[in-house]
Amino acid sequence: MSESRELLIRYEDIERARERLDDEMVVKRTPVERSTSLGDLVGADVYLKLEHLQWTGSFKTRGAYNKISQDVDEGINEFVAASAGNHAQGVALAATKCGADSTIVMPKNAPQAKVDATRGYGATVELVGQDFQEAMEYAQSHASETDAEFVHAYDDPDIVAGQGTLGVEMYENCPDVDTIVVPIGGGGLVGGISTAIDHLAPDARVVGVQADGAETVHESLDKGVPVTLDEVDTIADGIATGGISELTLSLIEEHVDEIVTVSDSEIARAILLLLERAKQVVEGAGAASVAAILSDDLDVRGETVMPLLCGGNLDMTMLQTVLVHALTEREQLLQLRVRINDAPGKMEEISGVIGDHGANIRTVRHDRSVDDLTIGEAYLLFEVETSGAEHAKSIVRSIELAGYTVEDLNRG
């Protein structure tokens, strides 16, 4: 690595950022909560860093305010940014706090809750393109044609230094931490945090987490240059940037110890687990760190580990999707297809069997237009709420003992 790349971000830059952010009305010190439930599951001492309780619901205000406050001091009073949501809110709040104007370009599919929140923090919002890359191209073009300063989500030393203040805070929360787990989108967050941790606790491990459908870091490290995806596919929209930068790649190379990836199913399970066990509502990006410690790819047994919950702006439509997926995977939401002779009383009989097990039928419908059915036959499709896999198995067995052929559609 060249010296110029190494010197782009220093710990001293993070310390100066902390001085600028020394205002609880701009950035607050977010709490840490020990989770014995998660600790029991992974065999570790787990401390959740609750950064999703930050103003705007994510860490992004840290970097945005560190940059914008300096630029305003130099006479700049108009800013433009591109974001899927969290960076948008951070820039909007930071600009408003500094008395400046902001225009935020968001993809057309950005969660409505994030669009509304960004406008609420004082920004003008323009919806352009189908993904983050298209939105960013438009925002950069807008900045070049006006007097506005473009605020990049991660490819800016001031942004990264601001995010690094979170690393200092995490160290102060738990100086004896063995492993810190940080979600990765564009790499600004993990770059800043790992720079701070490498200075304050060089023996601690920093693990970065990407979603399978937006993974770029492994290939970027292998090739030595940032790799950009043509498209991304993940429920974790907050880390769906589809690429990192030269700046953040250099910091990952220098300071991050390990990179793991997690699937959308693992992220969905983590969201549900955090709701149930920690009573925390966290978006996909924020839950990725917990998904990582629950996965087989990251061993934290016997350690003191701190997963970062970096964002809590979970769209309610996405929450519904996640819950249905996770409950179906657990078989707490059971999909059954029962083959019957299409005669009066069959639905009542099978419903009675299900009811005898104390399960709740959410929906049921007939399906007669299937090729493998003979004349006079039909399928009954049940959606049933159960207490879990064993409960589901007992229901299926009882329907079979009643003389019916039944398929558990959860199992494919």
pLDDT at position 131: 77
Q: Which of 325, 357, 390 is the last residue of a domain?
A: 325
Does residue 274 sit in the same domain as residue 192?
yes
Same domain, 174 and 311: yes
Shared domain for 165 and 142, answered yes or no, is no
Q: Does residue 133 register a pLDDT over 80?
A: no
| Residue-wise pLDDT tens digits, 147-187 | 899 999 999 999 999 999 999 999 999 999 999 999 999 99
125-142: average pLDDT: 89
Q: What is the pLDDT of residues 186-209, one digit of tens each?
A: 999 999 999 999 999 999 999 999
How far apart, in whole angstroms, are the C-alpha atoms of residue 177 and residue 170?
9
Structure tokens at 265: 């199913």
Q: Using CB atoms within 10 Å of the CB of residue 296, give its burial: 0 to 12 exposed, 13 to 18 middle, 19+ buried.
A: exposed
pLDDT exceeds cutoff 90 at 107: no
Instruction: Please tell me the predicted confidence (pLDDT) of residue 68.
Output: 98
49 and 101 fall within a common domain:
no
Q: What is the pLDDT of residue 4?
A: 40
Helix, strand, coil percent values for the chain (each to nearest 5):
45, 20, 35
Of the listed ranges 39-43, 73-77, 352-356, 369-373, the least confidently predicted one is 369-373
For the segment 297-326, the average pLDDT, to the nearest whole number, is 93
- Domain with residue 124: its CATH number is 3.40.50.1100
Confidence of residue 1 (pLDDT cuts 50, 70, 90): very low
- The verdict on residue 244 lying in a domain is yes
What values do phi and psi take at 327, rounded to 5? Answer: -70, -35
The pLDDT, as a whole number, for residue 317 is 86
Residue range 14-35, pLDDT digits in tens: 999 999 999 888 999 999 999 9
> How far is residue 226's CA from residue 205's CA, in Å, rounded to a whole number?
23
The answer on 24 and 85 residing in a single domain is: no
Residue 412's pLDDT is what?
61
- Both 144 and 174 in a single domain? no
On whether residue 155 sits in a domain, the answer given is: no
Q: Look at residues 340, 333, 337 and name the one whose alpha carbon lies nearest to residue 408.
A: 337
Q: Closest by alpha carbon to 58, among 67, 66, 49?
A: 49
Supply the CATH number for residue 389's domain. Answer: 3.30.70.260
Residues 176 and 288 in one domain: yes
DSSP letters, 280-330, are ----HHHHHHHHHHHSTT---TTSEEEEB--B----HHHHHHHHHHHHHHT
Tell me, yes or no, whether 43 and 73 share the same domain.
Answer: no
Given a cut of 60, whether residue 106 has pLDDT beyond it is yes
Q: Could you read off the pLDDT of 378-393 as tens digits, one per residue?
A: 999 999 999 999 999 9
Give kind and range of the element (H or E) at residue 86.
helix 86-97
**More reliable by pLDDT, 230 or 202:** 202
Residue scoring higher pLDDT (111 or 122) = 122
Question: What residue numbers bound the domain in which 122 lies?
Answer: 60-150
